[in-house]
Every structure is written in C-alpha cells, then in structure tokens.
Amino acid sequence: MHNFLHKILVFLLVFQIFSAHCCIQHERDALLEFKAGVRDIFNRLDSWRGNKCCDWEGVRCSNQTGHIVELNLRNTNFEIGIDENIDYDWNYHSLAGKISPSLVSLSDLKYLDLSFNNFSGNKFPEFVSLFQNLKYLNLSHTGLIGMIPPQLGNLSMLLYLDLSYDVYSGLTLNSRDTWWLSNLRSLKYMDMSGVKFRDSSGWVQESLNKLPSLEVLVLSDNGLTQISNSLTFVNFTSLRVLHISDQNFNSTLPNWLGSLPSLTDLIMEDCYLVGPYPTTLGNLTSLNKLALGLNSLDGMIPPLYSLTKLTHISLRYNNIEVEIVDFFDKLSNYTLRKLDYLDLSSTNMAGTLSGWIGDMTSLSFLSLSSNNLTGTIPMDFRNLTKLVHIDLSSNSLTGLLSEAQLNGLLKLKYLDITENNITIFPDNNWTPSFQLNIVFLGSCKLGPKFPAWLQGQVEIEELNLMDTGIDDNIPSWLWSFCSLWKLYLSYNRLRGNLPASLVHLKQLMIMDLSNNRLEGEIPFLPISLFSLRLSNNSFSGQLRKTYKSSYEKKSVLLNDLTGVVVELFPCGLTNLTILDLSSNNLSGHLPPCWSNMGGLLILANNKFSGIAPSTFSCSKILRVVNLNNNNLAGEFPIDLKFCSVLELLDLGENKYTGEIPDWVGENLHQMIYLRLRSNLFYGYIPSTLTRLGNLQVLDLGNNNLSGPLPRYLDNFTAMGQFISASPVYYDESLPAMTKGLNLVYDSVLLMIWKSIDFSNNNLTGEIPQNIVVLTGLLNLNLSHNHLTGKIPFDIGNMTSLESLDLQMNNLSGTIPQSMSLLYSLEVLNLSYNNLSGSIPTGHQLQSLDDPSIYSGNPNLCGPPLKMSCKSPKSDDNNDSKSKHAGYRDNWFYLFIEFGFVVGFLVVFFTLLFKRNWRYDYFRMIDSGINRLHVLTALALERWSAERA
Ligand SMILES: *[C@@H]1O[C@H](CO)[C@@H](O)[C@H](O)[C@H]1NC(C)=O
Ligand SMILES: *[C@@H]1O[C@H](CO)[C@@H](O)[C@H](O)[C@H]1NC(C)=O
Ligand SMILES: *[C@@H]1O[C@H](CO)[C@@H](O)[C@H](O)[C@H]1NC(C)=O
Ligand SMILES: *[C@@H]1O[C@H](CO)[C@@H](O)[C@H](O)[C@H]1NC(C)=O
Ligand SMILES: *[C@@H]1O[C@H](CO)[C@@H](O)[C@H](O)[C@H]1NC(C)=O
C-alpha cells in the first residue's frame, strides 16, 4: 500500500515534469482558442502548434507547476513601420480580431501583455480581474473600448498597470470612478492615459494617496477637472515620475508636490494650471526634469538652488514676464552649467542674451522664441558646443550672425531665427561644421545672393528663406537636397526657370515659391506633394499633356513598387490638397481632375480658357475654388454640384454663361463666399440661393441677370450678424515665419466681411423690405438695374453698412429719415433715380456732403444740393447757422467713435495688401487674436489629421 502510494507520487512527479514540457492540456486548448479568434496576417503565432505550448512564442510556463505564467504578445515590431515622414502604422505586425475569453483558464498567469495589437472594438476583457496572481498587465494601445470593470481592483499583487490608449485610434476606455485603483496597494507603475473617468473627484485623496509604492504615474487626457491642493498626510512618497498632461484643472500647482522627495520628473503640461509657483518646488532635490509648459502659471519661479540634478526645464507658454537674467538668478551656477534642455518660449521674457548664454555650456536644446528679447547674439554663443536645437524666432534680436558664432556648434541640427532683425552674412567660402535638418531664417537679412553656405547642407528637410531679400537664381544644388520635406522661398526676387523635373524629391510635401519672379513651365513634381504655391510669378505655358511621376504606394508594406504613370498635371498628384497657381501666365484648359482636387484650388489671374472638362465628381473635401479672372467659358460648372463642403467659390471675371442653377442653393450648404461677378449669366436669380444661411458674400454683379431680387433675403442669417463663427481657413504655408498669422486674418476677414452686390444687371421690382435685417452687411450695391419702389423705410437698421450704392435705378419716394442712423457709412450713391423730398440730415450723413451723391433726382432738395426745400421755417440765417454748427460738432464726436470701428476695419483690409505691416501690426494685437490663431491652427491640424 505504502509502496503503491509512493509509486503514484513518483508517477505524478514524472507526469508533472513531463507536462512542464508539453504543458497543461486545458491551458493549451485555451491558447488555441485564442489563436482561432485572432487575425494573424504576419504569422506571429506560427509556433503555436503541437503539444509543447510552453515553447510557443510569447508563452512561458512555471518550472515548478507547469502552468502558464506569462503571455507576452506585445507587438514590438510596429515601430519598424514608423518612419519620420510616414504615419505611425498601428497595424504593422499586429494581431487583430477578438480576445477570446478562453484565456480565463490561464489561472496562474502573472504577466499579461497584449499591447500594440489591434483589438479595436473589443470590450475590456473582464476575465483579467480573475487572475489573482497577476503582477504585470499591459493592454495599452490595443483599441479596447468600454468600461474597465472595477473588479480589476482585486488584483492586489499588481505591480505594473498600463491601460493607456492609442492617440491615433481615438478609441478609449471608460471608468466609473477612480476608487478601485486604491486597492492596487502594490502598484509601482500606472499609466491610464486616455481613460475617461466619469467621476474623478477626489482622485488624489481617494486613490493616489492609497498607493504608497507607486513610483511612476502617467495620466494624460483623462478629462480630470480637479486636483486637491493640500493633503494632511502624503502617502505616495515613493513617486519618482509624475506625468500629468492634457487635463483641465483650473487650479494652482498643488502644495503636496514639495513632499515628494524622490520626484525626478515633474511633468504637468497643458493642465490649465494657474497662479504662482509654490515655493515648495525648491524642496524637490532629486528633480531632474521640470516641465510645466502650456499652462497659465504666473510670475517668477521660486529659488531652485538645491535642485542640483536639474537638467531639463520647460516652462513654455506661461507668463513669467521678468528680465531673463533675473530668471537665471533663481538657479544655481552649477545648474546653469549642467542644463541640457531649456524651453522658455512664449513666456513674456525681456532682456538680452548677453551675460548668461555663454555659461550654458551643456545645452542641447534651447528655445526662447516669441519673447521680447533684444540686443545681439553675443560672441560667447559659440561656447554652446553641444547645441542641437536652437529657436530664437519671434524676438527683436538685431545685429550680425556670423561664422564666428556658429562655427563651433558641431552638433547643430535645428536653427530657427525667423522674425528677428538679424543679418546673416557669413563669408562666401564658409563651410559650416554642422549638418542642419531644419533651417528657418525667414525675414532675416540674407540677400541679395542666395546663401552659398547652404550648399553643403544636403540633409536639410525644412528650409524657410521667406522674405530674406534674395535677388538671385535658385541654385541648382538646392534641387539635389533629397531630404527636402518643406520648402518656403516666397517673397523674394528669385528669377529664372525651375528644373524640368523635381520628381526625385520624394519627400517633398510643401513647396511655396510664391511671390517671386520665376518663369518657364511648371516642372514635373513628386507625388508626395501636399501643398504647392507658385502664385505671383511668371510661370507660363499649358498644363502639360503628359505627366510622369514616380508612383509609390504609401503603405510601408508595399513601398518597393515603383513605376511610371502618365497624367495631366496635377492629376497624378493624389496627395495634393492645396494648389495655388494664381497670378501667372498659365494657359490652356483646366485639367480634367480639377473638381477632384483637395481642399483648396486657386487658379485665379491666369489665361486658362475654354470649357472645363466635366467628370461629374468632386473630391468632397474641396472647400475653396478660385478661378477668378481667366477666360473660362460654358455653363456654371456642373461638377461643383457634388462639392457639398465648398465654402468659397469665385468664378468672377470669366465668360461663363447660362442660368445660375437651382442646385447651388440646394446643395452647397456650406457656402460662405460666392462670387460670380463679370460673367454672362442670365435669367432670374434662383430663389434657392437664400437657403445658403452661411453666406456672407454674394456678388452677382456685372451679368445679364433679370427678374426680381430673391424674396427671402432675410434667410441670409450670417449676414445678420456682425461677426460669424470663423471658418477654418487652412493655410499651412507660413509655419515659422508668422506662426500661422496668415491664417488668422484670412479667417478674420471672412468673419466680418459681409456684402451683397447685384449691380449692373437688369433686375426689376422692388427692394424687399426684409433686407434691413441684414445688419451685418458692410456693403450693399444694387446700382445700375431697373429697380422700382421705395428705399426700405427702416434702412437705418443696417448699422454696419459702410457702402450703399443704389444709383441708376428707378427708385422713387423719399429718402427714409432713418438713413441718417447709418453711422459707419462712408460711401453713398443714390444718383439717377426718381427720389423726391428733402434729404435727411444729421449724423454720418452730414459728412457725406458731395452733391453728386444725389444728382439726377430732380425732385430732391436740401443740403448738400443747392436747391433748398420749401420749409415753413423763417430764414433767420445767423440763428440757423449757429444751431447747425453746434449740431455738427456733437455729431463730429460721435463720428469719431464710430469712425474708430471703421478705421479698424480699414486697417484690417489694408493689412491684407501690405505685407510688411502685417507682422508688426499683428504682434500688437493682444492674446485674444493669438488665442484665435491657436484655435484655428489646432482646427487645421485636426483637419489634416482627419484627412491622413
Ligand atoms: C526554468 O527553466 C529554464 C530552462 O529550463 C531556466 O532557464 C529558468 O531559469 C528556470 N526558471 C526558474 C524560475 O527556475
Ligand atoms: C497612508 O498609508 C497608511 C498605511 O498604508 C494608511 O494607514 C493610511 O490610511 C494612508 N493615509 C491615507 C490618507 O490614505
Ligand atoms: C477658473 O476658476 C475661476 C475662479 O475659480 C473662475 O472664475 C473661472 O471662471 C474658471 N475658469 C474656467 C474656464 O472654468
Ligand atoms: C521645504 O523647504 C523649506 C525651506 O526652503 C522648509 O522650511 C520646509 O520644511 C521644506 N518642506 C519639506 C516638506 O521638506
Ligand atoms: C555665479 O556666476 C556669476 C557670474 O558668472 C557670479 O557673479 C556669481 O558670483 C556666481 N555665484 C556663485 C554662487 O558662484
């Protein structure tokens, strides 16, 4: 008996050793069931066959028990799919499909990692909370959705928890609250980025403060709105890394930060933190990295003398507002010498670079952009021999940047000094000791020769030499820079032809050569191109009949395909989203793909002719079409019928004919700006046009339109508002130069410019009374028609009007007295009608005293006309004169007030045309506009991200 038991025991032992090798049957079945549920196109689970499941890829068993203890299927190879210029490819080497609940059988699991696979759409696998022994759980970047079960808090052995999301997928997990986290007493590492907590109040006291072992905490984009400021007792003193970003606290930096003696990384960016810095920051003696950028923190930092390990400081986009030398007084000399990374951009600092910059000899990253720094770049700048990245853009620095200051910077890769008054004048035969990737010198003084020292900089990816006074040919060596990704050379006096082909620039995405004197034909271009601006040059010729492009599939998997396709320019450029060829001498027909183009198509001011080919399709992202001032003919282009997101359409100054189709009003709901001026359109103005509630500018002038004005003009609701919501008017062409300001005023322009122009047609009937609700209109021009009836009685309601032109009609009756309420009116013309009675006086009308405004109306009387009205009043000359003078003075002041608004608008429009003023002017405008700019820029980014 005894013997028998012994034999059984031996047998069991042998069995266990044996099974350790070929694993436990039901666990193996569970794995196979899991395998059956996933799509594995990269054959990562190829080894998952046979009995020895402990040897399978990603599987590890315990030597003692034979149970599976580790399942590690993390996709580490996806990074191979990441190229700097190619989008991160989540699917590369991914497992996809379902996570089978069969895994629940792996009851001894200690380690589970499924990160960076694509299980998008799967709910959080609830069974995970049953793995009592789990120490490591990583389900990050798996596309899981839905609620995290609070039972996960039962995993009391857990050391490592990563449930962070994939920013690219937009898929996120939810959690009812943060309470369950407080049970994870052993936790050392937690990343919950992207997890949306429905109730996060008290997450510091109730959860964080119950985790005494926690060393690393990462929370980004969780929608947290509170962070308790003080704690009676701080338990989480093991914390080394606190990384919180993209939250919405609207509160000060918490006081408990000073009680975290082990903290090495304090990162709280974009959290809407306000108020001053707590003095307790000075107690964080282990701190290595201090990053509090993109908040609303105010004022000077506290003394940080004891932070001897500090090497990284980023306080960008806060309001420090001190002399920059005083800022460095808060750091020890030792720290200054050790600092590796310093970002103080947009912090409102003043002062010069002298006296401190030469001491920062360890710096590899320095950004001081968008401050108020003055003076020159001092000679000891050359001490910064470790510099890789320097950004001094948007300051008021002056003087010379020469070979002597730059020569020692062997590691320099990124140089941005745009928007300063710096003259860069290295010797002609200077060969820099560095190889730059990013060169932004826009608005500095470089010319008149194209800078020869750039010739050896063959690794340049982004080059901005806008507005640098270059008066030269583009040197041919520039076109051998095959890494070029963005190229901005606009606003110079560049001459000559471009090479016949630039197809070899396979990275080129953005090329802006506008506002130069370039000529010849447009070259063959690489398929990578996203934005092409060649406006305001002298390019000529037809769009070429054949187009050869190197044809590449963008997918990283298939990037070896090369070949040649033949297309008409720009039809082969399938990535092209912004095309501006305006103001050149281009001729011939529009390309057949024209309505299938990307977001912005500007071909104005050329010699394109004929009838645009019709493909009856539209790219659905075409938002701006400007074909103004060509010789285009035919009917209103039918292709646009399907362009449902069109916001701006200008067909003006062409030879289009036929009727304006009803579908314009029925289909193009997003239209903001519609200009058909100076064509040969005839027939009625379709009543459907008034369905375009977003319309702000409607210009049908100079056609052969007949019939009445549309009846329901009051449906133009956007014209009833002074300022409309800003359209996202994308213009990525000026990234470093103006930091996107170009974007701003274009949007601002579209926000305030409201106009109706039906002039020079054969329109008949009366002016609808409801037109007076369009109180945002700045311009109303109905002149040179056959309109009859009266001027609307309440026209004085249209208080924004700056220009009103009703001349050359058959309007009759008196001029409404309310017209004197049009305070902004600067241009008025009522001549050649049948108006009668006395001309209203007072207010703004008083300053419009040119009699020709009223001429050709024989029955009008009163000033400024010579003919006086027969008034019952006596002509007590002196008395009425002096009264009149007083009257005038009062209104003079009022006019000044309103005149200010007008003046502002005038400045705005002037800025449109005078480039050099713009920079200075917009710098003055307060953060309100900056905010707008940021918003627009963000919207732009989002828009392009959505496209990608
Ligand atoms: C289990 O066995 C493997 C090889 O058989 C060995 O490398 C490993 O260290 C062992 N693990 C333990 C915990 O004994
Ligand atoms: C701090 O930790 C101790 C021991 O782990 C615990 O008893 C106490 O309740 C914790 N304090 C708070 C505020 O959670
Ligand atoms: C931030 O808090 C202040 C004071 O508590 C409050 O006045 C302000 O409205 C808040 N701002 C936002 C955007 O919630
Ligand atoms: C922080 O430092 C100050 C002196 O700078 C000291 O009075 C205070 O006790 C320190 N606080 C902690 C929590 O160490
Ligand atoms: C720090 O450096 C400045 C100038 O380099 C010097 O005047 C000052 O005495 C130094 N401070 C210490 C504590 O060494």
Among residues 479, 602, 470, 475, the alpha carbon closest in space to that of 532 is found at 602
Amino acid identity for residue 766 in this structure: E
Pocket test for ligand 2, best of 230, 233, 238, 259 (most atoms within 8 A of CB): 233
In short, whether 893's Cβ falls inside 6 Å of ligand 2 is no
Can you tell me the mean pLDDT for 4-28? 61
User: Mean pLDDT of all residues in the chain?
Assistant: 83
- The mean pLDDT value for 413-437 works out to 91
Q: How confident is the model at residue 567 (pLDDT cuts 50, 70, 90)?
A: low
200 lines ligand 2 (CB under 6 A): no
Which residue in 670, 676, 727, 712 sits closest to 694, CA to CA? 670
Residue identified by tokens 């080394």 is 240
Between β-strands 59-61 and 68-72, what pairing exists: parallel, antiparallel or unpaired?
antiparallel
**How many Å apart are CA 634 and CA 66, to the nearest integer?**
81
Residue 250 CA, ligand 3 centroid: distance in Å: 6
Ligand 4 atom closest to the Cα of residue 279 is: 5
**Range name among 87-101, 195-209, 550-564 with the lowest pLDDT average:** 550-564
Taking each continuous run of H as one helix and of E as one strand, the counts in the chain are 11, 57
**Residue 266 amino acid letter:** L
Contact, 374 vs 396, CB < 8 A? yes
What range does the domain containing 670 cover?
A: 589-872
The whole-number average pLDDT for the span 339-354 is 96
CA atoms within 13 A on the CB side of 408: 12
Ligand 2 centroid vs 210 CA: distance in angstroms? 6
Using the structure block, give the residue that is written with the tokens 């420090």. Answer: 320
Which of 279-293, 370-384, 470-484, 561-575 shows the lowest mean pLDDT across its residues?
Answer: 561-575
Give yes or no for residue 235 CB within 6 A of ligand 2: yes
Higher pLDDT, residue 623 or 267: 267
The closest ligand to the CA of 296 turns out to be 3
80 in a structural domain? no
- DSSP secondary structure string for all residues of 40-76: -TT-TTTT--SS-GGGSTTEEE-TTT--EEEEE----
Cα–Cα distance measured from residue 87 to residue 218, given in angstroms and rounded to the nearest whole number: 24
Decide if pLDDT at 948 tops 60: no
Ligand 4 closest atom vs CA 258: 13
Ligand nearest to the CA of 284: 4
Of 10-24, 368-382, 449-463, the least confident: 10-24
Of 245, 259, 341, 369, nearest in space to 295 by CA: 245
**Is residue 707 one of the residues assigned to a domain?**
yes
Q: Does the pLDDT of residue 258 top 80, yes or no? A: yes
Is 358's C-beta closer than 6 angstroms to any atom of ligand 2?
no
**Which tokens hold the place of 928?**
């309100």
Average pLDDT over residues 419-441: 90
CA distance 461 to 85: 10
Helices (H), 323-426: 324-328, 333-338, 403-406
Q: In the 8-state DSSP scheme, what is residue 498? A: P
Global pTM reads: 0.79
Partners of 658 in beta bridges: 681
Q: Taking a C-beta distance cutoff of 8 angstroms, is the pair 297, 315 a contact? A: yes
Residue-wise over 86-108: b if at least 16 C-beta within 10 A, else e?
A: eeebbbbbbbbbebbebbebbeb
pLDDT band at 202 (very low <50, low <70, confident <90, very high): confident
Domain membership flag for residue 135: no
Given a contact cutoff of 8 angstroms between Cβ atoms, the answer to whether 635 and 656 are in contact is yes
Residues with CB under 6 A from ligand 4: 258-259, 280, 282-283
Alpha-carbon distance 840 to 830, whole Å?
A: 13
Closest residue by CA, ligand 4 atom 13: 259
Rounded Cα gap, residues 538 and 606, in angstroms: 10
- Ligand closest to Cα of 185 equals 2
Q: How far apart are CA 478 and CA 482, in angstroms?
A: 9
Domain for residue 938, yes or no? no
288 Cβ contact list (under 8 Å, min separation 6): 264, 265, 309, 310, 311, 312
pLDDT per residue over 816-846, tens digit each? Answer: 999 988 888 888 999 999 999 999 887 778 8
Q: How far apart are CA 562 and CA 726, in angstroms?
A: 43
For the Cβ of 888 lying below 6 angstroms from any atom of ligand 2, the answer is no
Within-domain flag for 615: yes
The CB density around residue 20, as the number of other CB atoms within 10 Å, is 18
Separation CA 593–CA 591 (nearest Å):
5
Question: Among the ranges 59-68, 890-899, 901-910, which has the highest mean pLDDT value?
Answer: 59-68
Element (H, E) at 814: strand 812-814
Q: Where are the alpha helices (DSSP H) in 111-232?
A: 203-206
Q: Residue 188: exposed, middle, or buried by beta-carbon count in 10 A (0-12, 13-18, 19+)?
A: middle
Instruction: Determine the pLDDT at residue 21.
Output: 56
Omega within 30 of 0 (cis) for the link into 858:
no
Phi, psi of 55 (to 5 degrees): -95, 0
Tell me, using a 6 A CB cutoff, whether residue 212 lines ligand 2: yes
What proportions of the chain, in percent to the nearest 5, are helix, strand and coil?
A: 25, 20, 55
From CA 479, how far away is CA 508, in angstroms rounded?
A: 11
Average pLDDT over residues 561-587: 77
Specify the ligand 2 atom closest to the Cα of 231.
13
Closest-lying ligand to the alpha carbon of 70? Answer: 1
pLDDT of residue 89: 61
Q: Which of 231, 263, 279, 283 to mutate to test the pocket of ligand 4 (most atoms within 8 A of CB)?
A: 283
Radius of gyration of the chain measured on its C-alpha atoms = 35
| The one-letter amino acid at 818 | S
pLDDT given for residue 934 in this prediction? 31
Mean pLDDT, residues 516-543 taken together? 91
**Cβ of residue 209 lying under 6 Å from some atom of ligand 2:** yes
Of the ranges 310-319, 549-558, 577-586, 784-793, which one carries the lowest mean pLDDT score? 549-558
Q: How confident is the model at residue 471 (pLDDT cuts 50, 70, 90)?
A: very high
Cα separation of 333 and 308, whole Å? 10
Q: What pLDDT score was predicted for residue 785? A: 96
Task: Answer yes or no: is 169 within a domain.
Answer: no
Higher-confidence residue: 71 or 545? 71
pLDDT at 877 over 70: no
The pLDDT of residue 808: 95
Q: What is the pLDDT of residues 74-113, one digit of tens each?
A: 988 765 444 444 445 667 788 999 999 999 999 999 999 9
Tell me the DSSP string of 872-920.
Answer: SS---HHHHHHHHHHHHHHHHHHHHHHHHHHHHHHHHHHHHH-HHHHHH
Q: How far is CA 662 from CA 636, 668, 691, 710, in A?
A: 11, 10, 10, 12
CATH number reported for the structural domain that contains residue 813 in this entry: 3.80.10.10
Residue 7 predicted with pLDDT over 80: no
Higher model confidence: residue 81 or residue 619?
619
The rounded Å distance from CA 260 to ligand 4 centre is: 11
Shortest-distance atom of ligand 4 to CA 280: 1
Give SS3 for 199.
Answer: strand
Q: Please, is 942 exposed, middle or buried when counting C-beta atoms within 10 Å of its C-beta (0-12, 13-18, 19+)? A: exposed
Residue nearest to atom 1 of ligand 4 (CA): 283
Tell me, in angstroms, the distance from the centre of ligand 5 to residue 325's CA: 12
Q: Is the CB–ligand 2 distance for residue 210 below 6 Å?
A: yes
Distance in Å, CA 235 to ligand 2 centroid = 6
Q: Whose CA is nearest to atom 2 of ligand 4?
A: 283
User: What is the DSSP annotation of 564-585?
Assistant: EEE--TTTT-TT--EEE--SSE
Ligand 2: which of 179, 207, 209, 214 to mutate, most ligand atoms within 8 Å of CB?
209
Return the closest-CA partner of residue 504 out of 523, 475, 485, 526. 526
Query: In this structure, are residues 498 and 475 in contact, taking their beta carbons and an 8 Å threshold?
Result: no
Tell which one of 280, 305, 330 to mutate to probe ligand 4, the residue whose CB is within 8 A of the most ligand atoms: 280
* Any domain includes 50: no
CA distances from 36 to 27, 112, 295 (A): 14, 19, 49
Q: Among residues 64, 56, 54, 70, which one has the least CA distance to residue 22?
A: 54
- Probe ligand 2: pick from 186, 230, 235, max atoms within 8 Å of CB? 235
User: What is the predicted pLDDT for the residue at 723?
Assistant: 73
What's the pLDDT band for 555 if we cut at 50, 70, 90?
very low
> Using CA atoms, how far apart are residues 783 and 349, in angstroms rounded to an integer?
55
pLDDT at 170: 66
Number of neighbours of residue 79 by Cβ within 10 angstroms: 12
Total domains in the fold of the chain? 1
Which residue has the least CA distance to atom 1 on ligand 2?
235
**Is 47 exposed, middle or buried, given 0-12, 13-18 or 19+ CB atoms closer than 10 A?**
middle
Does residue 352 sit within a domain? no
Check residue 748 and give left, alpha or beta (phi > 0: left; psi -120 to 50: alpha). Answer: alpha
